[in-house]
Amino acid sequence: DGKPRAGRCCSLDDVYDARRVAEDLGFRFYVLNLEREFQKTVIEPFIGSYLEGRTPIPCTACNTFLKFDRLLSFARQVGLNRVATGHYARVRKDPEDGYLLLKGRDPAKDQSYFLFELNQEQLSRIQFPVGDFEKQEIRRIARNSGLATAGKKDSQEICFIPDGDYAGFIQRHAGRMRLDFLPVLESIQEGGPILFKDGAVLGRHTGVHRFTVGQRRGLGVSHQRPLYVLRVDPQRNAITVGYREDLYSRALTAERVNWISGRPPNATIRAGVRIRSAHREASAAISLREGRNGSGLFAEVRFDEPQMAVTEGQAAVFYQGDRVLGGGWIVSRIPDSNE
């Protein structure tokens, strides 16, 4: 019936594989059923973000609310002080700055971007044993240890949508969610206009949830030049498109900023910033400020060079060398002056 159920995230094969490794290496094996929590903290926000015109990062939500919250709590219950996961990242203790989150040594597998919401208490109890190795080294160690999972395929980008059909997943499950999404759900069936940047109607779309900023393929309209999605507007049920150069932004603002050391700077600092997991860090000036009425820390990021496809709902993560300083959730972009 398409309803999410246990096993959608981690399949039964994954559970059996983990049990076999535990038996081979001789340690205790537990299974936590976090289906309800996963539905509430990962799947529902994922669907809601798409219906609100943003592009979410479910892996970060899973890390924040489940792996390094519920899993750490469970570890305490069974008398364990630390939790180890297979993330390609590293943790180091610094005498002045406390626990540092660092990139994984394998740049092709580095997952530090998805971990920017970790805090000092969590980092003090986390180990990332594979972070100091490249993926092929890990496979070699597993083979030499006789583990049956040594040749197992890499995990999917989004574990609960193995076929990659985000739009289909949203259409199947969104109807069970909040009533305030009803107008957007109706638009999925009715469709709406695809607008050129000057407001001219170029065609019709079949649901705003099918589009994200920077998208080029699947627009369903023809033009003398390649077109890209510039804006997703659920309130007007409209998609706005334009040219590649229209996607560039000089700056962005981010909300719910987490500063990993717990001591955010009072002055503007310079750092490298990733606006997507695979994005090459861009040099920028970062200014932090407190939001109103206890809404948390905000950041304004001004790039040295305009960046393409800054997207609401993605994260802006701040780096100095290998170190992750922190990050926040992108809520707006400031277009390049040439747009």
Cα–Cα distances (Å) from 191 to 125, 134, 184, 238, 249, in that order, read 48, 46, 10, 9, 29
Name the residue among 114, 164, 152 with its Cα closest to residue 14. 152
Q: Is 159 tagged catalytic?
A: yes
Looking at residue 337, its pLDDT comes to 57
Looking at residue 6, its pLDDT comes to 36
Helix, strand, coil shares, percent, the chain, to 5: 30, 30, 40
- Determine the residue type at 171: Q
Looking at residue 179, its pLDDT comes to 54
Looking at residue 8, its pLDDT comes to 44
Of 9, 10, 59, 159, catalytic: 159
- What is the reported pTM? 0.90
CB 46 within 8 A of CB 56: yes
Q: Flag residues of the chain having pLDDT under 50.
A: 1-9, 339
CB 38 within 8 A of CB 9: yes
Looking at residue 150, its pLDDT comes to 86
Q: Is 59 tagged catalytic?
A: no
Instruction: For residue 258, count CB atoms less than 10 angstroms from its CB and return exposed for 0-12, middle for 13-18, buried for 19 or more.
Output: buried
Looking at residue 178, its pLDDT comes to 60
Per-residue DSSP letters for 144-156? HTT-TTTTPPPPP
- The length of the chain is 339
Pairing of the two strands 89-94 and 323-335: unpaired
Percent of the chain clearing pLDDT 70 (strictly above): 91
Cα separation of 128 and 115, whole Å? 12
Looking at residue 189, its pLDDT comes to 66
DSSP bridge pairs for 100: 92
